[in-house]
Amino acid sequence: MNHVSVLLTEAVEALAVKPDGIYVDATFGRGGHSRAILDRLGPKGRLIALDRDPAAIAAGQAIADPRLTLGHAWFGELADVLDRLQINAVNGVLMDIGVSSPQLDEAERGFSFRFDAPLDMRMDTTQGETVAEWLARASQREIGEVLKDYGEERFAHAIAKALVAARSERGISTTGQLAALVEKAVPTREPGQHPATRSFQALRIFINRELEELALSLPQATDRLAPGGRLVVISFHSLEDRIVKRYLREQSQPVQPPKGVPVRAADLPPPRLRLVGKPVFPGAVEVKANPRARSAVMRVAEKCA
């Protein structure tokens, strides 16, 4: 399955692209959003696109456009990348959080229980531990906490216990082994959902530090936005969206003075961001054409002057 960018039109509209502006696509994927941004940029416009996945960067080499700069980096490294490029301010940042269709559909990446493949799940295959390596050394308590905290898995304790028992006998090195062990340990599951769905999601989010990267990247994006610049974030999971929603809400409220300090409201610094519109969800037509879009939510904010 080819990667289909979710909320493509809505996201690019929300960026309010200026022809001569500088924009960041912090999660390039297969370039759907980037191509749409380039279509709206003029000859003097510029787009910096980042991705931690070497396969995504390789795919991006096919875009022969001098206005595009591709960088192999995590979106939590946004500020470092802009520093290296000597860019102080940008007119918009787009983040499309989560896993891409090619990552899910290429068996050897180990993201999906639909295939029996090496248990990897790293978005950046050039560095870090695989899920198989982590499961081989983590304690039962650590495994249980990851499943509970990142997958909201109510049977986390039972699954962790089963995984630790199984690894001492034969190890856990493939997606098929992991899925079968979880399925056996989970007594019941929501209709239509594979018993291992939450466990795979939790391990993927944990091993790639997805929530930590998101929390790091939001302030960096805000710092680098020029006044009037837009921050557009698409999330696919309640844990991600909670981080985004909380951050945008905090940054869009006036700074409160210390208790008991007499300061006039007019003398307080203004909020850093203002919220733009309400959360945007994919419509029925998009969800029917691309079922993976069903859990997406887009939030938009603008940098205050």
Does the annotation flag 31 for ligand binding?
yes
Most confident of 34-48, 122-136, 291-305: 34-48
pLDDT for 187: 81
Does the annotation flag 229 for ligand binding?
no
d(CA 223, CA 174): 42
Which amino acid, residue 172?
I
Does the annotation flag 33 for ligand binding?
yes
Does the annotation flag 71 for ligand binding?
no
Q: What is the pLDDT of residues 182-238, one digit of tens each?
A: 999 998 777 778 899 899 999 999 999 999 999 999 999 999 999 999 999 999 989
Least confident of 5-19, 72-86, 190-204, 247-261: 247-261
Kindly indicate the confidence band of residue 3, based on its pLDDT and cuts at 50, 70 and 90.
Answer: low
pLDDT for 1: 44
Does the annotation flag 75 for ligand binding?
yes
Kindly indicate the confidence band of residue 280, based on its pLDDT and cuts at 50, 70 and 90.
Answer: very high
Does the annotation flag 157 for ligand binding?
no
Least confident of 59-63, 65-69, 174-178, 255-259: 255-259
Q: What is the mean pLDDT of the chain?
A: 90
Q: What is the pLDDT of residues 68-79, one digit of tens each?
A: 999 999 888 999
Give DSSP secondary structure letters for 268-299: SPPPSEEE-SS-B---HHHHHH-GGGTT-EEE
For each of the domains in the chain, give its residue range(s) and CATH number, in order of start: 8-101+210-303 (3.40.50.150), 125-207 (1.10.150.170)
Other beta carbons within 10 Å of 149: 15
Is the pTM here over 0.75, yes or no? Answer: yes
For the residues 289-294, what does the mean pLDDT come to?
85
d(CA 68, CA 167): 46
Does the annotation flag 32 for ligand binding?
yes
